[in-house]
Amino acid sequence: MREIKISETEAGQRLTKLLEKYMEAAPKSFFYKMLRKKNITLNDKKAEGNERLAPGDSVKLYLSEETLLKFQRVEADGEKVPVKAVKKEKTDLQVLYENKHILVINKPAGMLSQKARPEDVSLIEHITEYLLDEGELTKEQLTYFRPGICNRLDRNTSGIIVAGKTLEGLQKMGELFRERTMDKYYYCVVKGQVEKKQRIEGWLTKNHSHNKVTISQKKTEGAEYIKTEYEPLKWDEDFTLLKVKLITGRSHQIRAHLESIGHPIVGDGKYGDIYVNKYFKKTYQLKHQLLHAGELHMPELLGTFEELSGRVFLAPLPDYFEEIIKGEF
């Protein structure tokens, strides 16, 4: 939060005029939105913007530093230029859909869904920065609520993640994922030729010390039941592009399940084929598994979330994925 104390010099002008001088690059619509949401206040009260300022007035800006720096200008070489934020480089979020309660995001490969260590920067931190920048969240609000994600993807898996902007959004979307009432589809390229659609089952056991899972056809102690469906879209004698429906959602399920039937995912350093991975790294500079969460089908919903009822969210394939498809099929 920044506070501007009005002196005799600034007194007499309208509040919006002061804001326009303070953040020259911001559109007027931004100020009115922030005033309406009380992210900008006058004497700790909601303001309209047309108030005449008096000496001693207090204007408080509940905006992130990055937002302020983005809209401010400084004199350099005879002209006004943007102030550069002295913060970590921020990844722009690819927002597929947004309403009052949720965000649907296309996560890039290489980004953590959530922190593994305190020093990590994950998707959650990027979401928080995004909401602060957009004025959808204030630092004051962060003291009693933090946005969160409702599903997770492995670090090197790209695609759709749903985030809750409100407690109600977090709870409802979390419930839908837990109850598996949403249909989730992934795209991947696997070793070998697959020519027909199939549904496979098995039992998954996780080795927590190695963060790896094994698949068996018989139930063993601690094993979880899994079910995966896949459909070939393109293939040749060496590789196949699959569309996979995740029926149960276990850790590393798609990667390990496909490997267990002889079709490991291209680029997968944990469950993949070392020689296949070398070829794709040399040819396409691929450094991670070629797995993308591309579709999310919402169930029928009523009430607060009725506008989401039956909606289908699509996350476009990353450019490198498209390049490999064109190069191999």
The enclosing domain of 60 has a CATH number of 3.10.290.10
Same domain, 31 and 147: no
The enclosing domain of 316 has a CATH number of 3.30.2350.10
Q: Are 266 and 190 in contact (CB under 8 A)?
A: yes
> Which pLDDT band, with edges at 50, 70 and 90, does 198 fall under?
very high
For 139-171, how does the pLDDT look when each residue is reduced to its tens digit (9 = 90+)?
A: 767 756 788 999 999 999 999 999 999 888 988
Q: State if pTM tops 0.85.
A: no
Same domain, 208 and 157: no
Residue 305 counted as domain residue: yes
pLDDT at res. 78: 41
Residue 89 counted as domain residue: no
Share of the chain above pLDDT 70, in %: 92
| Catalytic choice (57, 92, 154, 273) | 154
Is the pLDDT assigned to residue 229 strictly greater than 80? yes
187 or 21, greater pLDDT: 187
Is the pLDDT assigned to residue 11 strictly greater than 80? no
Q: What's the mean pLDDT when you consider all of the chain?
A: 89
- Which residues partner with 41 through β-bridges? 60
Active site annotation includes 154? yes
Is the pLDDT assigned to residue 9 strictly greater than 70? no
pLDDT at res. 117: 81
Question: Total structural domains in the chain?
Answer: 3
Same domain, 191 and 317: yes
Which of 36-50, 139-153, 182-196, 238-252 has the weakest average pLDDT?
139-153
pLDDT at res. 269: 94
170: domain range?
95-179
CA 283 to CA 267: how far, in whole Å?
Answer: 12
